[in-house]
Amino acid sequence: MPLPVPASAPAPRPRRPRLGARLCYRLGALLVPNRLWRGVGRSLERHPSGYRALHRVEAGVKEAAFGCRDCGQCALPTTGYACPMTCPKELRNGPCGGVRADGGCEVFPEVRCVWLVGYERAAAAGAAAGFAPLLGPLDHRRVGESAWVNYWLERDGSPAPRRGALHAGAPR
Ligand code: SF4
């Protein structure tokens, strides 16, 4: 069950990933849905304790590495592994019009816009071609679920053709 967000919760703050982009693309490629992962996802759904254990690991690793906010529909493979949910406006399809001339966030000027960080990471890793295909709106019913399981079971709003293209521009 998703945790309730208090009305007074502070705005998210853009977070610079702690893992290099090339490593992220390589690790991400290991999680691309296939028969094995679909089987794991279905099995975990039948075993809530296993599901919760995986979700705890996923959320902990991704929070430490990317500032993950547990949206349940992970966009990282298409955003240079910079989490768009750390944008104060939680924009999932590119930066707002308020990015400062020096690349600073409109809300936190001392921090670089997470979308610029993501593009720079994707370009440096040779993966700019796969950067930020259009993402669907966030399905709030999925917030607080395991994004990995939702990815494997194709419940994260990624249309089938895009799923295969997620890593098309990724370094080998
Ligand atoms: S699951 Fe959502 S909040 Fe977490 S890293 Fe991915 S996009 Fe960001």
Chunked mean pLDDT (size 10), the chain, 172 residues: 56 94 95 96 97 97 97 94 96 94 97 97 93 83 95 79 48 51
* CA separation for the pair 86, 106 (Å, rounded): 13
Q: What is the pLDDT of residue 37?
A: 97
Contact 127, 171 (CB under 8 A): yes
Calculate how far, in angstroms, residue 27's C-alpha sits from the geometric centre of ligand 1. 15
Contact 127, 133 (CB under 8 A): no
Q: What is the pLDDT of residue 134?
A: 75
Mutate to test the pocket of ligand 1, among 3, 70, 92, 140 (most ligand atoms within 8 A of CB): 70
Contact 81, 169 (CB under 8 A): no
Which protein residues touch ligand 1 with a CB less than 6 Å away? 62, 66, 68-71, 74-76, 83-85, 147
Calculate how far, in angstroms, residue 104's C-alpha sits from the geometric centre of ligand 1. 21
pTM: 0.87
Contact 34, 40 (CB under 8 A): no
